[in-house]
Homo-oligomer: A and B are copies of this chain.
Amino acid sequence: MYTIGQVSQIFGLPISTLRYYDKQGLFPNMERVSGIRKFSDSEMEALRVIECLKKSGLEIKDIKQFMDWCVEGASTYPQRKALVEKQRERLEAELVHMNKVLDMLKFKCWYYEQATRYGSEDQVQSMIPDELPEDVRRAYENAHHD
C-alpha cells in the first residue's frame, strides 16, 4: 500500500495529476482510510495501464471507459480485448509513421552536417536524390514517400 506522495515519486508524476486521474474515475476501486487515498498493487497496475493507453493515443474518458469495464467483470472481456487490439493497431501504424519521421531527421542531420562543412547548401541540394550516399538516399526516400 502506497500513499499518493510515494506513488508520485515512483512514477515521476505530480500529485496533482494522480488526484486528477482519480477524479476522472481512473481508479474505481481505490480504498481510502479516513479520507486518505491508499494505492494498492491493483492501482499501481492500473497506473501502468493508464500510461500505456495514454501513449497509444487514448483520451482520459476512453481510459475511464476501460476501467469501468474492468469493474463490470467478465462480461466485458470482449470489449476490453477489442479496445486493446484497436490501440495496438493504431500504435503499429504510428510506429511506421514515426520511422519515416526519424528518417527525415536522419536526412536533415546529414544535410546540415554537409551544409556546415561546405558553408552552403548548394552542393548538397544538387545531390538530391540520385547522388546521395546510399544510406542517406534510403532515408530521404522513405521520408518523402507517401
Cross-interface CB contact of A95 among B84, B87, B102, B112, cutoff 8 Å: B102
Within 8 A of B (CB), among A92-146: 92, 94-95, 97-99, 101-102, 104-106, 108-109, 112-113, 115-116, 119-121, 143-144
**Is A35 engaged at the interface, CB distance under 8 Å to the other chain?**
no
**Is A88 engaged at the interface, CB distance under 8 Å to the other chain?**
yes
A80 touching B48 in the complex, CB below 8 Å, given contacts A55-B101, A98-B55, A101-B56? no
Which chain B residue lies CB-closest to A112?
B81
Helix, strand, loop or mixed for chain A's interface? helix
Chain A residues packing against B (C-beta within 8 Å)? 48-49, 51-52, 55-56, 74, 77-78, 80-81, 84-85, 87-88, 91-92, 94-95, 97-99, 101-102, 104-106, 108-109, 112-113, 115-116, 119-121, 143-144
A112 touching B80 in the complex, CB below 8 Å, given contacts A74-B119, A105-B87? yes
A95 touching B99 in the complex, CB below 8 Å, given contacts A74-B120, A116-B78, A119-B74? yes
